[in-house]
Each structure stands twice: as C-alpha cells, then as structure tokens.
Structure 1
Amino acid sequence: MFSKTDPIAPPAPPSRSPSSGAATNAGKSILASDLRITGEITSSGAVEVFGDIDGTLSARSLLIGGEGAVKGSVSAETVEVKGKLDGRVSTQTFTLRATAKVEADVNYTSLVIESGAQIEGRFTRPKG
C-alpha cells in the first residue's frame, strides 16, 4: 500500500582528468631571454624557450628560439631548435633550423635538418 520514493540525487560533476580524453586548456608558456632556470619544467602544452634552461624539460611541444639554450633531458612530441641544445632528446618530430647548434643523443620518429644547422651526437629512430 505504501511506497517509498528515493530523493532525486543531484548529477555528479563531470570528470576533467587528463586521461579521460577531454580537451585540455593547456596554453603556451614562453620563457623569456632574461630567464635562467635550473631544475625540472613540465607542461601539458607548448613551451617556447628564449632564455637558458639547465635540467629536465617535458612538454607537448618545445621551441628553442634563436637566443635560447637548453642543457639536459628533453621529452616532447615535437621539438624545434633554432638556438642551442645539449643533452638527450626523445621526440616524435625533431626539426633543426639553420641557426641550430645541437650536441645531443636524439631518439626521433621524423627528422628535418635545414642547411647550416650544426649537429653532433647520436640520432636513433625506432625500427618499425
């Protein structure tokens, strides 16, 4: 005769975890020419370096500007170098512009080297 009704529960807030596949609002981080950083830099977006970085840098994409310098380990989907890079690189697409000076061990899938770029190191591509 009597029935019990459940109260209506409010909807759960949407999940915004990076692993859910939802688009992130990661922007572009610009590290100016007067900036010197020693340590670890991590970004889910793009990073542009015009200063000096000594350490580990991980980002979706990395651009090292003409006056920029990175010394250490780099991990990014795309890496474009116009300045100096010294260390280890793990990337899908590695682009060296004519003004690049690179001394690194590079693990890449796609490689572009413009005439005039100075490179020294070991370049390896995964077999597949």
Structure 2
Amino acid sequence: MQTKTAEPTAPAAPASRTGSATSRSVLAADLKIKGDVTSDGTVEILGDVEGKITARALVIGAEGKVKGSVSAETVEVRGKLDGRISCNGLTLRAAASVRADSTYTTLVIESGAQIEGRFTLAKA
C-alpha cells in the first residue's frame, strides 16, 4: 500500500488594498500635516492639516482643523475649516466653525454652526 505525503502549499498572497469608494483614511488627533492630501475614498481629519485636500468624501471631526482648499463630493464639518470648499454636498454641524468661500450643490447648516464667507450654488 502506498501512502501519499502532502506537498507543502504556498501561503495565500495578502489581498491588495487599493483606494476605493469604500476605503477610509483617518488622520488621528496627534497628527499635524503641512502639505496636500489626496484620496479616492473618505478622509476623516481629527488632527491639523494645512494644505489642499482632495477626496471622494471629507469629514472634519470635532477636534479637527483644516486650513486650505478642500475639494470632495461630500464635505461634513464638525470642527474648524479656514479656506475654500468645493463640493456637491456640504454639511455644517452645530459645532462647526467655518471661514471659507464655498461652492456647493446641496447645503445643510445645523443651528449653532459658526460661518463666515461666501456661499455659491454650483451651476448645473
């Protein structure tokens, strides 16, 4: 009777992670970035960023601070933003403090949000 020995198998390759609509990058509260940030997914900012931010979606957390231009399909601000905003959907939460010229398609401003700047409805 013959016995077969199992041949070693190669370990499976790790799944590659590419930027997708479902990916989410979180910039932690202890981070301070001076420069441009670009993502094909969602960027959540809990720290300080000075520069240009381009993403599919942007969330600025309650402790987050952004100084510069922002371009995304949707932008939600809970913290501070000083600069320019270009987006389809803009949501300013009650704790938001925004000093920016904004171009948007839809706009939500919660009671308590502090805003200063120009708001322009994007042309279709």
Query: Matches of residues 76-87 of structure 1 in structure 2 within 5 Å?
Result: 76-87=72-83
In 1, Cα distance between the equivalents of 2:55 and 2:123? Answer: 24
Report the equivalent of 1:35.
Answer: 31
Residues 77-103 of structure 1: per-residue CA shift (max 9 Å, x gap): 000000000000100000000000000
- Give 1:93's aligned residue: 89
In the alignment, residue 62 of structure 1 is paired with which amino acid? L
79 and 34 in structure 1: CA distance in 2 versus 1, 3 angstrom threshold = same
Deviation at 1:126, TM superposition (A): 2.2
In structure 1, list runs of 5 or more residues that go unmatched: 1-22
Q: How many residues align?
A: 106
Matched, 1:62 2:63: no
Q: Deviations over 1:107-127 (max 9, x none)?
A: 000000000000000000024
Counterpart in 2 of 1:19? none
SS class of match (2:118): strand
How far apart are residue 104 of structure 1 and its match? 0.0
Quick one: percent identity of the two aligned structures? 62
Query: Structure 2 regions of 5+ residues with no counterpart?
Result: 1-18
CA distance in 1 between partners of 2:60 and 2:116 (Å): 17
TM-score normalised by structure 2 residue count: 0.82
What's the CA shift for 1:26? 5.2
